[in-house]
Chain A
Amino acid sequence: MALFSIGGRALSDELWSPIWLTIQLAGITTFTLLIVGIPIAWWLAWTTSRWREVVGAIVALPLVLPPTVLGFYILVALGPQGLGGWFGHLAGVRSFAFTFEGLILGSVISSLPFMVQPVRNSFEAMGRRPLEVAATLRASPWDRFVTIALPLALPGLLTGAVLTFAHTIGEFGVILMIGGNIPGETRVLSIAVYDFVETLRWREAHILSVGMLVFSFVVILLVSLLARKSKGRAL
């Protein structure tokens, strides 16, 4: 598959496969986290429960935990003695470790705060007023959520989505521990770079690394621009 060429030479399958796999992983993880993360962020923003900060702290855990700790627990959980083995038994697989599905689960867990924090912040910044005004105009709760809250929180949603996507692309430690380095299944970009470096194939390592460098710069720039925009709106 020679869709791109660098220095006149086609980008080989060996390079292209981890790139495509990583984009798929990041895309699915971001989509999953939009569905899982928005309700959590909503609850955290409005609840008066005394468990609020406890749940908030649990959500934030992946920010400070070493990836090895996450990787260790996820590996055990995915294995035959864990939940993964239990579910796997129903689906006829022994363990979800070393599978693309396993990587999705690991990425969703380790990227959770990157989605929930910015979305929660933008819900809180919006305040209760717009929703209360809409309620007096007899908008239903679902209507208020979809037509008022989500559009107002859009910068936060975008920030969360971009950060989640980028963080998943940059994920290394967890995947090293639960992936098994299978081409086309779990051999994502960061693992491929690691492998190329360790086997002294630095040309390939450079190609992928330069790509990551440019990509990461664009992401950070994008997030800063989004943050500016949302600030402008709040004023």
Chain B
Amino acid sequence: MHHLKIVAVILAMVAPAMAARPANAAQANVAVAANFTDAANEIQAVFARSTGHEAVLSFGATGQFYTQISQGAPFDVFLAADDERPALAVSEGYGVDGTVFTYAIGQLVLYSADASGVVGTETLRAGAFQKLAIANPSTAPYGRAAVEAMKALGAFDSLETKIVHGQSIAQAFQFVETGNAELGFVALGQVSQMGSGSRWIVPQEYYGPIKQDAVLLKGGEDNEAAIAFLEFLKSEEATAIIRKFGYEAGL
């Protein structure tokens, strides 16, 4: 008797929430590269408003997501920070053939929470700092781009001992924001909407282009919301948001 009462109470609480969703609305689980967090949140809100579908976002490093996906993580869509893992996902049978496209091209910035912390290449060459945060180069494309840029500038050897790795670009950014590292290589998308701090946009010639590809995963092949979300990413509305956050998009 007692148990029935509890079940009834739970049902009474849950039922209105369930009823509130439109009959045709679906839900898609989306794995999002950490650098794209802010843009993805804004896109998610607009997507929900215009389609009624819900995109549930998870954020992390591209390499970590790929490992999880290869072990059957329940994601329907993968927004990577590179063009390697989505292609690999298709060739390894985790992604749907023909669904890969570039949703954004990222830009690397050298960032400091201090308004006068970053001037340009001379900031790196002078080396007047103790810690430089980057994303883990083996799992995060922005980390790899940061290493490429330092090597191209001839500053890598002198800076190597000052480098600290965040597990994702989000943690690298956090290390700089908390002041534990004076400088960090992060994505322009993370800092473009911020009024404080100082930054230097690393010229594209110093690192391989950060082509961020999206792919529909096998788990989401028949998921209406997942397919709609990828379509929506290509829309004028979404690419405008992506550009606003400092990426190239809609090429």
Contact = CB atoms under 8 A, between A and B. Distances in A.
A26 B51 CA distance: 54
Contacts of A197: 67
Interface stretch (A41-49, A78-86, A161-169): A78-86
A121 to B, nearest CB: 38
29 contacts: A75-B178, A75-B180, A78-B180, A79-B179, A80-B179, A81-B179, A94-B131, A95-B130, A95-B131, A97-B175, A97-B180, A98-B164, A98-B175, A98-B180, A98-B181, A180-B133, A180-B164, A180-B175, A180-B181, A181-B136, A181-B165, A182-B164, A182-B165, A195-B138, A195-B139, A198-B63, A198-B64, A198-B139, A200-B67
Is chain A's binding surface mostly helix, strand, loop or mixed?
loop
Nearest to A178: B180
Interface residues of A, number: 21
A200 B66 CA distance: 9
Can you list the 6 inter-chain pairs with the closest CB atoms, starting with the nearest?
A: A180-B164, A181-B165, A97-B180, A80-B179, A98-B164, A95-B180
A76 interface: yes
Given A180-B175, A199-B139, A79 B180 contact: yes
Contacts of B165: 180-182
A212 to B, nearest CB: 19
A182 B139 CA distance: 15
A188 interface: no
B26 interface: no
A80 B139 contact: no
Contacts of B175: 97-98, 180
A98 B136 CA distance: 14
Contacts of A97: 175, 180
A79 B138 CA distance: 26
Interface in B125-155: 130-131, 133, 136, 138-139
Contacts of A146: none
A195 B66 CA distance: 13
B182 interface: yes
B37 interface: no
Nearest to A79: B180
Most A Cβ at <10 Å: residue of B67, B130, B166, B178: B178
A220 interface: no
A79 B182 CA distance: 11
Interface string A143-182: 0000000000000000000000000000000001000111
A198 B163 CA distance: 20
Contacts, number: 63
Interface string B40-74: 00000000000000000000010110110010000
Nearest to A88: B130
B167 A181 contact: yes
A78 B181 CA distance: 12
A197 B70 CA distance: 11
A69 interface: no
Nearest to A181: B165
Contact of A93 (B130, B163, B178, B181): B130
Contacts of A94: 130-131, 179-180, 182
A110 B165 CA distance: 22
A80 B138 CA distance: 28
Interface in B53-105: 61, 63-64, 66-67, 70
A81 B70 CA distance: 41
A97 B130 CA distance: 11
Interface in B94-130: 130
A97 B131 CA distance: 10
Contacts of B64: 198
Contact of B138 (A93, A95, A98, A199): A199
A85 B136 CA distance: 25
